[in-house]
């Protein structure tokens, strides 16, 4: 299951977030979104957990929890709809 994580402090590390989620089960992958120019975190990312029960437990227990001074927003990630995707024209 793919999980959205929002309101992440920019100074947080991938390992810190992975460790936080692994208290609820095995994390298969983590993808924190970074600014292309500054390489700083944009404040959100995604975690994948194969076990749906572990994923639901993580969502339930971590949504709203303070992490590095900020309350996390944790929920099931929604797939991008074609209307929400950016369109780029290459010439």
pLDDT for 36-74, tens place per residue? 999 899 999 999 999 999 999 999 999 999 999 999 999
- In the numeric block, the tokens 């227990």 are attached to 61
Q: Are the C-beta atoms of 19 and 68 separated by less than 8 Å?
A: no
CA angle 23, 28, 34 (to 5 degrees): 95
- No. of H helices and E strands in the chain? 2, 6
Distances (CA, A) of 34 to 50, 57, 68: 24, 27, 18
List the domain boundaries for the chain: 2-76
Q: Which CATH superfamily is domain 2-76 in?
A: RRM (RNA recognition motif) domain (3.30.70.330)
Mean pLDDT over each residue of the chain, to the nearest integer: 90
């Amino acid at each position: 299951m793919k999980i959205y994580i929002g309101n992440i402090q920019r100074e947080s590390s991938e390992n810190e977030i992975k460790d936080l989620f692994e208290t609820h089960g095995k994390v298969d992958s983590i993808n924190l979104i970074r600014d292309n120019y500054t390489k700083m975190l944009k404040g959100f990312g995604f975690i994948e957990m194969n076990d749906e029960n572990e994923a639901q437990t993580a969502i339930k227990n971590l949504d709203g929890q303070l992490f590095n001074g900020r309350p996390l927003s944790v929920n099931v990630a929604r797939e991008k709809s074609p209307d929400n995707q950016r369109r780029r024209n290459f010439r």
